[in-house]
Amino acid sequence: MIKLKIDNIEISVPAGTSVLKAAESAGIVIPTMCFNESVPNHASCMVCAVKNNISGEFIPSCEMKVQEGMDIICNSNEVIEFRKDALELLLSDHVGDCEAPCRISCPAFMDIPKMNRLIANGEFVKALEVVKEEIALPLILGYICSAPCENACRRKQMEGAVSICQLKKFVAIKDSENEKYYLPQKQTKSNKKIGIIGSGMAGLSAAYHLLKYGYSCTLFDKNEKAGGRLLNVSENEMPGKILETEIEILKQFGAEFRLNSSVTIDHIKNDFDAVIIASGENSNVQQLQINEDTFTTNILGVFVTGSVIKPIKMAVKVVANGKATANSVHTFLSGNTSVKKHKQFNSRFGKLNESEIIEYLEESKSGNRNEPLNGKHAGFNNEEAIAEASRCLRCDCRKAESCKLRILSDKYEADQQKFKSAERKTIKKLFQNEILVYEPEKCIKCGLCVEITKRNKDIVGLAYVGRGFDIQINIPFNKSLDEAIKNSALECILNCPTGAISNFKGE
Ligand code: SF4
Ligand code: SF4
Ligand code: SF4
Ligand code: FES
């Protein structure tokens, strides 16, 4: 047995054990990316680095075998910085978008490409489920959203942006015509109660997300009708029955409305576990100190949302604000006093060049943006919606949820710009029989796919081509991807640590 110290814990492990495995046996988890137990190891990514305290060197723990008397550090600031640098180097020539530009520019962060794919596939109810994960009032927004997402849409430079807002409206209208509305699954029921003063967009949105968390919600409004500012929208812009339907959906979801009730915080504070002031621009909250990031106030359990904080013009921003407030209330009611915002890591590369446009168009139907034949108000019919959704270029990454490069870059707060080279590589997409997609510019050259094709006796296989920084994983002898990876497609999809090799149909 070999004796060594890892993070000051003395352990003994059999000779030939890697430092990574030795650490694991002491309950210390070291991140890995290029390491995979099922194939021969070629340490390359260095995110598993640890410090050898005796030599002062950083070593890849997945490859290095234990030695008698070793003193290994896994968790110092220095080690963390080293891993962060390793990630930033990998990101320096990584060309990919974790999330599509449309989604990034949607204040409510709606998963637009996913919605589009489901509509294109005729799965309208599932598409609405995706919309309602992030957006409480899709029917209303279908009429009054200014659609900043369409401004960012990649298809804008090719025959017009995808008609995202109309597509969202389409699934919401379909639902509103059903006998039973779609109501999302609630998380475990809580007996905590939330009082919301004001029933405009921010209040309605906060109520929806809190109901989803499992709380009960009561909305107070001094008017005889719920809706706040929405009641002033002209019939031309949005028929009144749209607001009524959306409120009915919320009622069926469990929201209680107390109209004609002018209440103050003092009136209702003792009856609720949390109170949200959502009474719009004219609210008198002068005596409250407001934290704009967390929506909290100097009174514990009292929150503010929407235009109470500062006037917000864009409807979808108000809806997003209501959701963020609901999340903050949920964090508070779950016993956490500090509500820290976290912005997930997101690789992005900007504009597509000419040849990339061609690559991206391969994934979509050509043709101009469709406008609803029966007019904007009526919206798309099934065929129009399917045709329009099929124009989406699928700009999001197929492994946005599971990519190790993204997960670790997020954890280590890596900066993609740190070592960024001036010129980025051109994106290519190689498809194999609607099973697999290979995107070389997302490859970290770990070699796992090369080993997998070798092990599975794929006659052509994948191979390293080139040298040094320009090395690439490629298909030798000008063969097709299908020939190269025939026996190994599913295994490569599963084991490629990034979105370089992914499932054609997505995650
Ligand atoms: S491969 Fe990973 S880091 Fe790159 S775009 Fe996809 S999810 Fe993001
Ligand atoms: S083409 Fe699709 S995924 Fe890309 S930005 Fe437009 S809507 Fe989003
Ligand atoms: S494509 Fe192959 S070499 Fe590149 S990251 Fe994926 S498994 Fe590794
Ligand atoms: S070098 Fe060890 S996981 Fe990549």
pLDDT at 179: 84
Nearest CA to ligand 4 atom 3: 32
Cα 45 to averaged position of ligand 3 atoms, centre (Å)? 11
d(CA 330, CA 459): 55
Ligand 1 atom index nearest CA of 96: 5
Ligand nearest to the CA of residue 491, numbered in listed order: 3
Which of 50, 45, 39, 40 lies closest to 6 in space, CA to CA?
Answer: 50
CA distances from 45 to 219, 413, 447, 450, 452 (A): 53, 17, 11, 16, 18
Question: Quick check: CB of 393 below 6 Å from ligand 2?
Answer: yes
pLDDT at 487: 84
Whether the per-residue pLDDT at 472 is higher than 90: the answer is no
Question: Quick check: CB of 86 below 6 Å from ligand 4?
Answer: no
pLDDT at 468: 66
Question: Quick check: CB of 33 below 6 Å from ligand 4?
Answer: yes
Pull the structure tokens for residue 220. Answer: 């107070």
Question: Quick check: CB of 91 below 6 Å from ligand 3?
Answer: no
pLDDT at 363: 86
Pocket test for ligand 4, best of 30, 44, 412 (most atoms within 8 A of CB): 44
pLDDT at 337: 66
Pull the structure tokens for residue 249. Answer: 């959906």
Q: Which stretches of 107-173 are assigned E, i.e. beta strand?
A: none
Backbone angles phi, psi at 245, to 5 degrees: -65, -45
Which of 43, 79, 84 lies closest to 64 in space, CA to CA?
Answer: 43
Pull the structure tokens for residue 385. Answer: 């919606």
**494 with 456: CB under 8 angstroms?**
no
**Mean pLDDT value across the chain:** 93
Ligand nearest to the CA of residue 446, numbered in listed order: 3
Q: What is the pLDDT of residues 328-367, one digit of tens each?
A: 999 999 987 665 667 899 999 999 999 999 889 988 999 9
- Mean predicted confidence (pLDDT) in 159-163: 97
Question: Quick check: CB of 100 below 6 Å from ligand 1?
Answer: no
Give the DSSP per-residue string, 398-417.
TTTTT-HHHHHHHHTT--TT
pLDDT at 467: 66
To 10 degrees, the CA torsion angle through 249, 253, 255, 256? 90
Question: Quick check: CB of 112 below 6 Å from ligand 2?
Answer: yes
Nearest CA to ligand 1 atom 7: 400
Domains detected in the chain? 2-75 (3.10.20.740), 101-180+351-389 (1.10.1060.10), 193-333 (3.50.50.60), 426-503 (3.30.70.20)
d(CA 20, CA 40): 15
pLDDT at 412: 97
Ligand nearest to the CA of residue 157, numbered in listed order: 2
Cα 69 to averaged position of ligand 4 atoms, centre (Å)? 23
Q: What is the pLDDT of residues 379-393, one digit of tens each?
A: 999 999 999 999 999
- Mean predicted confidence (pLDDT) in 369-378: 90
- Mean predicted confidence (pLDDT) in 302-315: 93
- Lowest-pLDDT range of 3-17, 106-120, 305-319, 419-433: 419-433
d(CA 64, CA 56): 15
Question: Quick check: CB of 112 below 6 Å from ligand 4?
Answer: no
Ligand 2 atom index nearest CA of 156: 6
Q: Which residues pair with 290 in a beta bridge?
A: 297
pLDDT at 171: 98
Ligand 3 atom index nearest CA of 495: 7
pLDDT category at 422 given cuts 50, 70, 90 is confident
